[in-house]
Amino acid sequence: MNQSIIKYGIGIIILLLITSSCTTALTHTTTQITTQTTTISFSSPILKTNHDFTILTIPECTNTLTITGAPALPYQTLTYEFPLGTTISAITIETSDITITTITDPIIPAPQPLPTYDAPTTHYLQPNTQIYTTDTLFPETWYSYHLTGGLNRNNEHVTILTLQLYPLRYNPVQHSIHSIESITLDITATPPTTPFPCQDTYDLLIITYDRFATYLQPLVEHKIQHNLSTHLVTLSEIYQSTYFPVTGRDKQEQIKYFIKNAIEAWGITYVLLVGNYRKMPVRYTQLETDTGGTYEELEFCSDLYYADIYDATGNFSSWDTDNDENYGEWPYPESQPMEDQVDLRPDVHLGRLACMFGFEVWVTVRKIIDYEENAHASNWFNTMVVIGGDTFDKKWEDGTDYNEGEEATEKALEFMPEFTPVRLYTTLDTISKANMTTSISDGCGFLYFVGHGNPSFWATHYNGDYKNWTQGFGNKDILKLSHKGMYPILMVGGCHNSQFDVTPLNILLKGEEAFYYSIHVIECWSWMFVKRFNGGTIASIGSSGYGGVNIGDHNTNGIPDCVEGADGWFETQFFRIYNEEHIDILGETYSQVCSDYIDNFSVYTDRYDAKIVETHVLFGDPTLKIGGYP
């Protein structure tokens, strides 16, 4: 403890083109430079061993680095909100004296999330040799940061500074840990000189395939009756510059620029896209996860593209910063940086009704109105149906034997104590097609599946049996549901259940591959639930690509890793935010999950974490009042 205080400084110069929001999270109301000082203290690290690895924890650090293969070090997250476009001109830190400790076993690496039931091609805990054979400290500094633009909890457009503080740094060659007891931060910020446009003309923007406009008029009138000013715009009106001069390289970018103009000219907060992937263009992102391997997925559809309008400077978030017309690129291998700088944080609350036909629009509009008018104080709403089993083979877990699906659903129930649970589990021998049909048809406010999926089916495994499936629930089973007026919100943990760019034409385009991946169906599993006439769900949230699940308990804290990161954390946090933070507007609840994931995980340094946010899709009305209006 005799070393001198060390000062670290970094200047961050940001060019501003678009600036502040109407109201601000902090009291920066002039152009005067302001400085905030924060001191964070840390306890001494706690060392444990597990499978010839050292595990480090610090009580004040609620997060652990999740960069696949990198040392899983604890860190503390701090977030600061400023008016959109604020310049963060400097971040300066002072650390306390440094303590150096020698350890015998290497620090445990962060695991790679597993996307399917297949055995991992490499060991679950595989150190990144580039890091573990380098004679330098990891991380490089005592902190890192990222700047994003997005909506805060008050629906204000802000620049968000997220800091990750690392009280421990590791030299793997010298087997040493460098630790500190405190960090003092000085953050210097300059508010923007031009205020962000502060209009309040409309709340909800509905963008629709032209022929669906008539079917949506009852929804527009219903929203207005509930004090949500709503504007309906067709795609032709966007492309023909009816409201704003058309801007953009392709139809997707033209739609996104229209949303940007609508934010600035009309003050919209919510966006509802109406049309399937052919009628309402979809943006594909080229975020590779496992090039050349089992889980290769060179592109997938992401509606987050339409919600992420601004970067931290207030500029347009194109998702194609190198202008090569490939979006969200992140070249392989993992050590390379993200090629396209993608902001990821939502600037509008966005959902999609993936309708193929006008009848589906009529059905979903009818269901939304019925739900919001009649769900409140209904007995059926206070029930939560959860369905899960054992997702991954225990021999891959390094000593634990969790039923990942049941652990995730139990975590969700923990956040929803006022709801009566209906558990359909392999351990209870209650997971059957008949029980799933009956439980859903009896009515429930929330429905949560956790297991494996594809665009046409969902299923899981019994513990110890990874060759055979439980009875699952498929698209044909959804068509049999009939429970008029009792529509739950569906959350599904499973790969590709929300892959909405499926079509029977894939039989011709992709041959046997279409059947193997079930991308030959007419519409995907999650959307089938929402569009079901007199049954199904009012909304659904799921993945358009491969999911990702952590297994075991590699940090030996007694909490299954499947709920501490990746899909399991993302999904269960939806229920926490709804019930504990009382955010009961569907799009706001969903957007907050995305923002919280961005703040708590390594989405800018690990493609697996980025993919968790990018693949999830909300099918439903983003302005939906969860539980209906009183």
- 327-357 pLDDT, tens digit per residue, is 998 877 655 677 899 999 999 999 999 999 9
pLDDT at site 198: 79
Average pLDDT, the chain: 90
Helix (H, G, I), strand (E, B) or coil at 260: helix
9 vs 620, more confident: 620
Using 50, 70 and 90 to split pLDDT, how confident is the model at 457?
Answer: very high
Residue 339 main-chain phi, psi, to 5 deg: -75, -50
Helix (H, G, I), strand (E, B) or coil at 89: strand
The bridge status of strand 182-190 relative to strand 34-41 is: antiparallel
How far, in Å, CA of 502 to CA of 155, rounded? 34
The bridge status of strand 157-165 relative to strand 349-353 is: unpaired
Going from the C-alpha of 620 to that of each of 128, 154, 189, 231, 571, the distances in angstroms are 40, 22, 38, 17, 16
The bridge status of strand 87-95 relative to strand 6-11 is: antiparallel
Least confident range from 190-199, 300-309, 363-372, 536-545: namely: 190-199
- Span 493-526, pLDDT tens digits: 999 999 999 999 989 988 888 888 899 999 999 9
How far, in Å, CA of 137 to CA of 125, rounded? 21
How far, in Å, CA of 524 to CA of 498, rounded? 6
DSSP assignment letter at 399 = T
Using 50, 70 and 90 to split pLDDT, how confident is the model at 293?
Answer: low
pLDDT at site 11: 36
Least confident range from 89-93, 315-319, 335-339, 462-466: namely: 335-339
- Span 114-130, pLDDT tens digits: 765 455 545 567 888 99
442 vs 556, more confident: 442
160 vs 607, more confident: 160
pLDDT at site 25: 34
Is residue 325's pLDDT more than 70? yes
Tokens of 390: 């054992």
Is residue 22's pLDDT more than 80? no
- Span 256-270, pLDDT tens digits: 999 999 999 999 999
Q: What percent of the chain has pLDDT over 70?
A: 91
Using 50, 70 and 90 to split pLDDT, how confident is the model at 290?
Answer: low
How far, in Å, CA of 287 to CA of 338, rounded? 9
DSSP assignment letter at 295 = T
- Span 407-418, pLDDT tens digits: 999 999 999 999
Is residue 9's pLDDT more than 50? no
Is residue 28's pLDDT more than 50? no
Tokens of 312: 């931290």
Is the Cβ–Cβ distance between 479 and 537 less than 8 Å?
no
pLDDT at site 512: 87
Mean pLDDT of the 537-566 span: 92
Is residue 57's pLDDT more than 80? yes
pLDDT at site 126: 82
Is residue 50's pLDDT more than 80? no
Is the Cβ–Cβ distance between 63 and 153 less than 8 Å?
no
Q: Which of 614, 573, 429, 456 lies closest to 524, judged by CA?
A: 456
DSSP assignment letter at 62 = -
Mean pLDDT of the 317-328 span: 94
Is residue 2's pLDDT more than 70? no
DSSP string, 419-462: SEEEEEETTTT---HHHHHHHHHT--SEEEEESEEETTEEE-B-
Per the confidence metrics, is the pTM higher than 0.75? yes
- For residue 110, the number of C-alpha atoms closer than 13 Å in the C-beta half-sphere is 24
For residue 421, with 0-12 CB atoms within 10 Å meaning exposed, 13-18 middle and 19 or more buried, which class applies? middle
Mind listing the domains of the chain with CATH numbers? 6-190 (2.60.40.3800), 200-266+268-374 (3.40.50.10390), 378-547 (3.40.50.1460)
